Each structure stands twice: as structure tokens, then as C-alpha cells.
A and B are shown apart, each in its own frame.
Chain A
Amino acid sequence: MASLEGYGVVDTGAYQRQADALNYRFNTDSANNAYGRFLSQQRGSRSLGDLTQNFNRSLPSAYAGFGQRGLSGGGIRSGTMNRSMNNYLGDYAQNYMRAQQDLTQNLQGFDLAQANLGAGLQFNLADLETQKQNAIARAAQGLEALRPYFGGT
């Protein structure tokens, strides 16, 4: 069967199929990315919860240890205890914030991936559309049919 390209007829169906494939891939990749973000956020939240839980559970023990050594109690102002407790609380806060930061950066990674998927889709669809419209614009059906009469080959 003769091709229609020689007569200047563009096969727009092929371009449409390619566009559909791009959209399909974007959708699947976006879904995977979103699920991965969700899992990452869940795990991160769990880690943060565990940190808080462990801190809360160990905090009374830490105070009790200072009491056994006579560094805490009514009327007792111990610098050692203060310093130790600051370190303990500070470490916890730092670890917790760092955990939050790590989780945030993980989520940012997923967000960036999603943005890249969107940008890639835009890029590919625009490129595909440009190719299609250029082919349509440069189709010369009438000219090709008359070319033998003009002395062309």
C-alpha cells in the first residue's frame, strides 16, 4: 500500500500514540513516586515517634539517676545535673530535628522527582507536537502533484 507521506499527508495518529505513551509513563511514574513518598514519610514519622517515645521513657530514669546520687531533690541545685540534663535534652532535640530534616529531605527528593517527571512530560509532549505540526505545515500535496509539470523531478 502506497505511503501517504509522498502526497504530503501526515500520519498524526503516530504522534498521538507517542503522546499517549508519554502520558501513560508519566502517570505510572508519578504514582510510583507518590507512593514512595508516602512510604518514606510514614517510615520517617515512625522513626520520629520512636525517638520521642524513647526519650519520654528514658527521661524519668535520667532524673532518677541524679536523685540516687543526691544531685537532685528538693532544695538541691546541682550544676552537674543541669549540665547533664541540658546535654541529654539537647542531644534529643538535635537528633529529633536532624531526623525531621532527613525526612524532609527525603520527601523533597520525591517532590523533585515528581517535578522532573512533570517537566519531562512537558518537554517531550512539546517536542512531539512540534514535530507533528512541522510535518503538517510542510506537507506539499498540491505542489508535489504539479511538480512534473513545472519541469521538476
Chain B
Amino acid sequence: MATGWQQLGAAAYLGAPSKPKAPARKPGEKTPLNPLGYAADSTAGSSWLAPGTYSGDLAAANPGLIQDARNPEEVNRNIYAYMTAQGNGGGGGTPTGTIRRPVVGGGSASRSRGGGGGGGGGGGAAAPPQLTQEQLAQMWALLGQARPGAQQAGPAFDAPDYAGPQISPFDTSMYDNLRTQLGQAVTNDRAQSDQAYAALNSFMQRNYAANPYEMQGAANFGQAPGQSQDAIQRMLASQGANPQALTRGARSDAIGADQAFGNLLGILGQNQARDYTNRQYAAQQDQANTGRMYDMAKLQGDTGIGLQQGAAKDQWQQRYDQRAADIYNQQYQGNLAEQQANWQRANQLSDTNYSTNNQYTNAMLQSVMGNLLPLIIQGGLSVPDIQALLTQGGQ
């Protein structure tokens, strides 16, 4: 916001717009800064000398100023003289000399107080301040350096990222224990099965140690009770008979009967042996089937455990994915808010910087045009680089 003297200078340069009528002031009330310091109608309360006003205070404290400044030019001279006396281009203090009213026009271009030719300086007025080229250059540099710098946004706002609740990893220990127990049970049962079939084979070998049809003491005609064949032969021979002829038939019948019986025993013995062999094969088949049964039971158990583990893992994965989605959304929203806030801040600062810079430029140009330009013209000085003035500074 422009300060008091800048407002005075700017307003003086701009001339008097169709200003609104100043509100009536209460006694003793200091008016807010009267940009004009004077009024077209020198009514009380609106003059350069109006007590209580800023310009009035200046006038009261600095007798060397044009006491009855009637136009912007005269006001500008007063301001310049005062500022110079304050050390802006000159020494500190108050104007000691009297500011000479400008001769030409007298500034009464539009506010003529009657009579032509301006009033001339009133007796004893001091010579208007003169500005040297060096002073102008210094002032020009100061104006450029005094440009307010751009505000910086500072470090960007970065809030901590949303991490979300922690989900413990999927625990497979229970399912691993089940698989271990199942494997141990199958191993134990398989060992018991093998032991049982080993006992069976051992029993069958003991049980079939001898074929019951391979008997050694079976009855036969050669060992029939009673007289032996030799005795019968001898008896017949002793009676003068032919024993071979007389016993041939019976003997052949007996031999045939013994052979028939032997064949029967042989058949039955082979049958018994075949039964033993078949039993061994059957035991082997049973043992193999039992082993496959255990394999199938283990497979079924592992499948059941796997299905249960899969279902549980699916539920855990759903929770995990949901958590990841939540974290992503939270982080996105957070990043969005951070960037939006930083963007807004940057825009605000940019707007502020632009506004401040523009205000300063306007005020500066107003001051240059209003205060310095007349002095430059009057002193016949060279106008420094205006472009440098517009781009300099900003620190």
C-alpha cells in the first residue's frame, strides 16, 4: 500500500480527478490523507494548509514550502523539497529555503485565483531546487533498487505419506503342520501294513512247510498187512504150482490200484501247491493295493488341505489388495491436496508479486513523471534509461 508522501506525489501527478466532496470533519479530527493537499475551492478543510492534514502538518513544520500551493506542480515542488531535505537526494532536515513558486503559469492553470500571470513568488521565496545529473542518476538507481522483491513460496508443503495399517503375512504353519501329521500317519500305517504282510508271508511259509499229499507212509499193496508176496510165492511154489501164473492178475490189479492212488495224491498235491503259490501272489497284490490306498488317502488329504489353504489365502489376498488400494487412494488424495495447496500458494504469490510490482511501477512512474520530470526538464538533464528502471531491482 502506498505510503503518505507517495500518495501525495501520485495524486499531484494525476491531477485532481473529479474528487468526491470531502466529508465534513469533526473538530480536531485529522482527516485521512488528503491526496490533493489543496482543493479547487479553497474551502476550509480541504486546503494544502488545512490543519490536521498531512500536508497541513508539513506546511506548518516547514515554512520554506510554498504555503499556499495552488496546483499540482506547486504541491510537487513542496514534496520534493521536503523529501530532499529528509535526505532523499539531499541532507536531512527541513527545508530551510523557501521554495520558489514556478514562474510560468504559476500553476494556476485551472485554479486561477484571479489575475493573470501567476503570483510570482512572494517576497523572499527561495530558489527552486536544482537537480544535477549525478543526483538524478543516483535517484534513478535508488528507485530501481527500491523495487520490492518477489516473495518466495518457501519449501513446498509435503505431508507424510499415508502408510495404512499393517497386515501380517499369510501364515501357512497350520497347514504345514497338517501336512506333516498326515505324512507321518501315512508313513506309520504303511510300515504297519508292510509288517503285517511280512508276517503273513512268514506264516504261509511255515504253514506250507510240507505238502500234506506228499505223504511217505501211505498204504500200498507192497506193504499190505498179512503175508508178503514173497511168502505167497514160496508157498505156491512148494505146492508145485506156478506162482507167477497164479498171482499175475491179482498183482497187476493191485499195482494199478496203487498207481491210481498215487496219481490222485499227485493231483491233490499239485493243487495244494498251486493254492500256496496263489496265496503268495494274493498277498503281494493285497500289499500293493494297500500301498496304493495309502497313497490315495494321502493325496486326498493333501488336496483337502490345499483347498482349505487356497480359500484362506484368497481371503487374505483380498484384504491385502484392498489395503493396497486404500493406501493408493489415500496417497493420491494426499498428493493431490499437497500439489493443489502448493499451486494455490504459488499462484497467490505470483498474483501478489505481480500486483506489488505493478503498484510499485505505477507509483514510481507517477513519482518520476510528477516529481522528477519537471526537475529534469527544468535542469535540462538527460533522462536515464527508463527500461532499466522498470526491470531493475526486485531483490
Contact = CB atoms under 8 A, between A and B. Distances in A.
A143 B227 contact: no
Contacts of A21: none
B212 A150 contact: no
Taking residues whose C-beta sits less than 8 angstroms from the other chain, chain A's interface range is 35 or more
Given A93-B250, A130-B283, A149 B178 contact: yes
Nearest to B187: A142
Taking residues whose C-beta sits less than 8 angstroms from the other chain, chain B's interface range is 35 or more
B331 interface: no
A103 B339 CA distance: 124
Interface string A5-42: 00010000000000000000000000000000000010
Contact of A82 (B178, B236, B240): B240
A97 B250 contact: yes
Contacts of B61: none
Question: Taking chain A's interface residues, is the majority helix, strand, or loop, or is none over half, making it mixed?
Answer: helix
Given A97-B250, A138-B293, A140-B297, A108 B219 contact: yes
B132 interface: no
Q: Which of A103, A108, A110, A145 has the most CB of B within 10 A?
A: A108
Nearest to A119: B212
Contact of A97 (B192, B239, B254): B254
Question: Taking chain B's interface residues, is the majority helix, strand, or loop, or is none over half, making it mixed?
Answer: helix
A125 B206 CA distance: 11
Interface of B: 178, 181-182, 184-186, 188-189, 192-194, 196-197, 199-200, 203-204, 207-208, 212-213, 215, 217-221, 224-227, 229, 232, 236, 239-243, 245-247, 249-251, 253-254, 257-258, 261, 264-265, 268, 272, 275-276, 279, 282-283, 286-287, 290, 293-294, 297, 300-301, 303-305, 307-308
5 contacts: A93-B236, A107-B219, A111-B215, A133-B197, A143-B189
Q: 5 closest A-B pairs (Cβ-Cβ)? A: A142-B185, A118-B212, A151-B304, A107-B219, A150-B304
Interface of A: 8, 41, 44-45, 48-49, 52, 59, 82, 85-86, 89-90, 93-94, 96-101, 103-105, 107-108, 110-112, 114-119, 122-123, 125-127, 129-130, 133-134, 136-143, 145-147, 149-152
